[in-house]
Amino acid sequence: MSLIGIIASQNYTRAFNVDYLVVAGGGGAGIDDGGGGGAGGLRSTVTATGGGGSLESALSLALNTLFTVTVGGGGPGTPANGVVAGSNGSNSVFATITSTGGGGGGSKLVVGSLGGSGGGGGLTASGGAGTANQGFAGETAATNGGGGGGAGEVGGTDATNEGGDGVAVAISGSSVTYAGGGGSRGGVTSPSGGAGGGGNGAGDSGTPGNGTDNLGGGGGGGRLVQNGGAGGSGVVILRYSDTRTITIGAGLTGSESASSGGYKRATITAGTGNVSWT
């Protein structure tokens, strides 16, 4: 092989490190004293990861190689007058890393679904479990519904029926809180969604809030005659040496930042497709 061929081959296979934040879509909420939706699972190599787990390790990847990315959508809430849990959010994926969609919140007497973070239980029903190293469980409801779990705490921790808070991650260059659980359907007041995009629950008046897109927040619980709040979509953020340039393939919506602090960042907000680096 010529010297040029050897150099080209080495450039093709040379490994480099990529840090990641992979947040799945949040779960939809229940109704009729419904529980809040659980936040999308959160996995990260920078600042903090979900579920109280240990920080994950950067991936060592090859240049000029395709890697799959999927940004999970939020799950719909229970439709008005329904008797089922809200729908789970969809998984988000980067290469070998998968974050699990948030669990749907339960409707009256219906348990919350397990997920990246678990959905809150409907009135008197249990909350769903979270996924290890991604998020926490939803609240088991004693009165009204239970708050959805967040990446940083179980649902209902800060005050009864509130969504669990998410975690703050600085992979983008500034600290942003992601993956908050949805508040449940409350009484006179509306329980708050967790920090990180969780939707507020409905009180005796008003409507439930949706989880925030690209934060992976869970939806807020609603009354019998209204739809439960929908979960917010997830996000995939990748950080790598500023000597590298990413190609974001067809089917994905995203952009690459300018160099800062020796890094570039790619933020991918929707779709399914492939990325590669040169």
pLDDT reported for residue 13? 55
Q: What is 97-112 written as a DSSP string?
A: EEEPPPPPPP-TT-PP
pLDDT reported for residue 3? 40
Closest by Cα among 213, 215, 188 to 202: 188
The model's pTM = 0.95
- Provide CB contacts within 8 A for 57, sequence distance 6+: 45
pLDDT in tens, the chain (278 residues): 444 443 344 444 579 999 999 999 999 999 999 999 999 999 999 999 999 999 999 999 999 999 999 999 999 999 999 999 999 999 999 999 999 999 999 999 999 999 999 999 999 999 999 999 999 999 998 888 999 999 999 999 776 789 999 999 999 999 999 999 999 998 878 999 999 999 999 998 889 999 999 999 999 999 999 999 999 999 999 999 999 999 999 999 999 999 999 999 999 999 999 999 99
- Provide CB contacts within 8 A for 92, sequence distance 6+: 22, 23, 24, 25, 40, 41, 70, 71, 72, 98, 99, 216, 234, 235, 236
236's tokens: 């995939």
